[in-house]
């Protein structure tokens, strides 16, 4: 399936979303944000899709951010303000999405593109990739993407990147916790598929409950989080897959997941 700015492919239980604006360094339009949100909704309950990947076309950039200039001429201040909420809405939808989302970064991930990658559950990047927050250099600030980036980066390091606009390479991104894996560009797709194979080999029911509890616990104080997570542990133990996993462990065999 292919739209003007988003290519959608489903293969081996994985939905691949490719931002398709290589001539614009894969900057994201308001329409593309809506298309990504639509695909998340479309595959949320599809049991044949167990994970999602977001990537950019062309090898030069994952994405260099949101292209607000593509809004219709004559848009009012209020229209522009409302449109900017689309990115934050998408972040929340991604964190509520019950399946793993992987950002496959090759090239530049800047501004909102950096934020979009950080909002994914995992980032795998080529060694040639660069990450950065250049907004301060043009007199603005990366407000909305502060939230996903604070979940991934030490606050002092993040503030320095925001205040200086400094770009970091993939090795530094790995060192400070932005990226989960960094590989040579020639190995990027193969390595991504390998990690996806590992993720999709787990119980999708356990992953869904685990991901939801992980992000919710991040928003709680410690006392509330402990009580909530205790309840989630009791809930997970009632899953068929939890019983199967414990039986398989006791019988020294591989579990056969039913994803429920």
| Last residue in a domain, options 176, 200, 224 | 200
Q: Are residues 237 and 141 in the same domain?
A: no
Do 142 and 111 touch, CB atoms closer than 8 A?
yes
pLDDT tens digits, 103-121: 999 999 999 999 999 999 9
pLDDT tens digits, 178-212: 999 999 999 999 999 999 999 999 999 999 999 99
Residue 152 is assigned to a structural domain of this protein: yes
Region 127-140: mean pLDDT is 96
Mean pLDDT, the chain, as a whole number?
94
Q: What is the CATH number of the domain that holds 23?
A: 3.90.226.10
The percent of residues above 70 in pLDDT, for the chain, comes to 96
| Structural domain boundaries enclosing 33 | 6-200
Give me 101's structure tokens. 């989302």
Entry pTM: 0.94
Give me 89's structure tokens. 């809405």
Q: Judge whether residue 123 has pLDDT over 70.
A: yes
Q: Are residues 77 and 153 in the same domain?
A: yes
Give the integer Cα–Cα distance in Å for 63 and 9: 19
Q: Residue 71 has what pLDDT? A: 56
Residue 166 is assigned to a structural domain of this protein: yes
Q: Are residues 117 and 234 in the same domain?
A: no
Q: What are phi and psi of 25, to 5 degrees?
A: 55, 35
Q: Are residues 224 and 188 in the same domain?
A: no
| Burial class, 186, CB count within 10 angstroms (exposed 0-12 / middle 13-18 / buried 19+) | exposed
pLDDT tens digits, 41-98: 999 999 999 999 999 999 999 999 988 666 555 678 887 777 788 999 999 999 999 9
Region 215-231: mean pLDDT is 96
Residue 256 is assigned to a structural domain of this protein: no
Give the integer Cα–Cα distance in Å for 90 and 150: 17
Q: What ranges make up the beta strands (E) of 99-240?
A: 101-105, 108-110, 122-126, 130-132, 167-169, 181-183
Q: Residue 144 has what pLDDT? A: 94
Q: Judge whether residue 1 has pLDDT over 70.
A: no
Q: What is the CATH number of the domain that holds 208?
A: 1.10.12
Region 240-244: mean pLDDT is 97
Paired with 56 in beta bridges are 19
């Amino acid at each position: 399936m292919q739209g003007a700015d988003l290519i959608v492919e489903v293969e081996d239980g994985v939905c691949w979303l490719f931002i398709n604006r290589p001539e614009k360094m894969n900057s994201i339009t308001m329409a593309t944000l809506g298309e990504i949100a639509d695909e998340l909704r479309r595959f949320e309950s599809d049991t044949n899709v167990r994970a999602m990947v977001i990537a950019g076309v062309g090898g030069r950039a994952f994405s260099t951010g949101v292209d607000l200039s593509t809004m219709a001429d004559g848009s009012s201040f209020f229209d522009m303000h409302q449109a900017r909420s689309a990115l934050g809405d998408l972040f929340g939808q991604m964190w509520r999405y019950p399946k793993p989302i992987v950002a496959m970064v090759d090239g530049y991930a800047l501004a909102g593109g950096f934020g979009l990658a950080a909002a994914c559950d995992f980032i795998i990047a080529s060694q040639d990739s660069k990450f950065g927050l250049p907004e301060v250099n043009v007199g603005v600030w990366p407000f909305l993407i502060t939230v996903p980036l604070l979940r991934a980066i030490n606050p002092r390091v993040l503030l320095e990147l925001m205040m200086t606009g400094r770009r970091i390479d993939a090795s530094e991104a790995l060192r400070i916790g932005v990226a989960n894996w960094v590989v040579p560009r020639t190995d990027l797709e193969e390595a991504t598929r390998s990690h996806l194979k590992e993720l999709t080999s787990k119980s999708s029911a356990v992953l869904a409950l685990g991901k939801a509890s992980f992000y919710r616990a991040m928003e709680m104080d410690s006392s509330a989080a402990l009580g909530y997570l205790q309840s989630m542990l009791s809930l997970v133990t009632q899953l068929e897959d939890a019983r199967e996993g414990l039986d398989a462990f006791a019988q020294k065999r591989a579990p056969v997941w039913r994803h429920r």
